[in-house]
A and B are shown apart, each in its own frame.
Chain A
């Protein structure tokens, strides 16, 4: 039985409080970093829906982030749309594209799924790289941020923008947490655990895979739209396959199958690469070694290991929580 205050939700609250506190106290660069990490966390959560819950290892998830970014850039800069409807359309477009892609790819399994998602994302990358209309390899600058004066936030203030992204992240977390604890979420877990058994119980497995593929694509699109607003810029680099690889590492590093794990992974990997790159110009070498070490030696992920330990420890149980 799920309790209202699971370990996940407890840690989520803690992270939110910490970031709110930090967004007030740190300097400009720190505030920018909080916004960046929060956006990454949303992106990582969306990938975890696929990898951790449904067992669909996508190596092309950045394509949907990129589509969200480009949609936001194109609609606001080239067509002069308002930001709020643009965001909704960006999410819908990312969902539409992931539906079209998903119909084809969810039938594939294992390494073929990895390869086809990789190839599809590279296709989008190649398209935007060559398309002069949308800036080609130079990308597209001049993207504004959502106007939130009505809520007392001035999004040009980095602290306020960080708060805005945090609010969005919290809403996404709550939504996805509900989704994953619903019967629908249970179906996905069943499919991840044993697809054939689910099928012989009477579940049209592909339809559920497609559904979660679309949802994950939409959330990725949202994070893409936020990223475009954050940097004011979008380029094909955003959807290069290594971006998908790094976010996959984030999800693994945090621990798959828990939304908080994905968030923790995003925080740790981003902070680590930030720290290492300030120490040495050869940060890629160390990040590469870190990735390898994580996969080989901590396959439960950092948060996954922590959660396992907590659930076994006495104080957590004495606080009235059975293992969930």
Chain B
């Protein structure tokens, strides 16, 4: 479903992605972990095209999107959430979601019909809100939302485009344990057919969501394997999990 082949990116002498490769099957859930500065978000940005790779290829559902812009890759099926909330802050929750649903329905060239006449978009947005547990704050402007709710909306926007691959960048970062629990349940409840790539620091979330983990360090893949394999890996223990008591 998603294939990255030897992605490489450097800023001057600083190599931030060193021939990173990754392959996700349909419905697979994969966590990318690694210490701070390991290049996880950079890897995400290389996949989505927000950063242009120096070399390497990205293939989404059999389609080579390597040379394409980030919006084209999104249309090809990549949906992402951001590590730092990246929302339409002056709009309400429902307007955030319906905007994203309109994008998913490719309505941008419709200029003669009022947006409010598109009942199905509104319904889509309401369903999404329910999916990410935001039904009771539908009309609240984003800037008045709690942080946890904003994080949920972040995931909601990524889901709105009906992606083939959902990419979540630390969905629980900065959350309280209760909020984290809500988010974890939310991710678990997503349809099994959806391919998910998730960057996460919270090991409970990682182990709760996925069966397969890729460990990044210094911009390259340290190890890739099942939860058990990674848990038992000496390399990882030394580098990363040493104090995670996993």
Measured CB to CB, the residues of A under 8 A from B are 1-2, 178-179, 181-187, 189-190, 193-194, 196-205, 208
Contact = CB atoms under 8 A, between A and B. Distances in A.
Interface of B: 48, 50, 69-72, 74-75, 79-80, 82, 86-91, 98-100, 102-104, 107-116, 118, 157, 160-161
A201 B107 CA distance: 13
Contacts of A203: 71, 103, 108
A201 B91 CA distance: 16
A200 B109 contact: no
A252 to B, nearest CB: 17
A193 B116 contact: no
A179 B88 CA distance: 20
B103 A199 contact: no
Contacts of A196: 50, 86
24 contacts: A1-B116, A178-B111, A181-B114, A182-B112, A182-B113, A183-B102, A183-B113, A183-B118, A184-B110, A186-B98, A186-B115, A187-B103, A190-B103, A193-B90, A193-B91, A194-B89, A198-B103, A199-B71, A200-B48, A200-B70, A200-B80, A201-B160, A201-B161, A202-B74
Please provide the 10 A-B residue pairs with the shortest distance between their CB atoms, ordered closest to farther: A202-B74, A183-B107, A184-B111, A193-B88, A202-B75, A201-B103, A183-B110, A182-B111, A187-B108, A190-B99
A182 B116 CA distance: 8
Given A183-B115, A184-B111, A185-B115, 18 more contacts: A1-B116, A2-B114, A178-B111, A178-B112, A181-B116, A183-B108, A185-B111, A193-B88, A196-B50, A196-B86, A199-B71, A199-B74, A200-B50, A201-B104, A202-B103, A202-B161, A203-B108, A204-B69
Chain A CB within 10 A, most for which of B74, B112, B114 = B114
A201 B74 contact: yes
Contacts of A189: 88, 91, 99
A191 to B, nearest CB: 10
Contacts of A181: 114-116
Interface centre among B108, B112, B160 (most CB of A within 10 A): B108
B153 to A, nearest CB: 11
A208 B111 CA distance: 12
Contacts of A1: 116
Nearest to B92: A323
Given A201-B157, A202-B103, A179 B111 contact: yes
Contacts of B98: 186
Contacts of A193: 88-91
Nearest to A182: B111
B88 A178 contact: no
Contacts of A194: 86-89
Nearest to A257: B90
Nearest to B99: A190
Contacts of B100: 201
Contacts of B111: 178-179, 182-185
A72 to B, nearest CB: 26
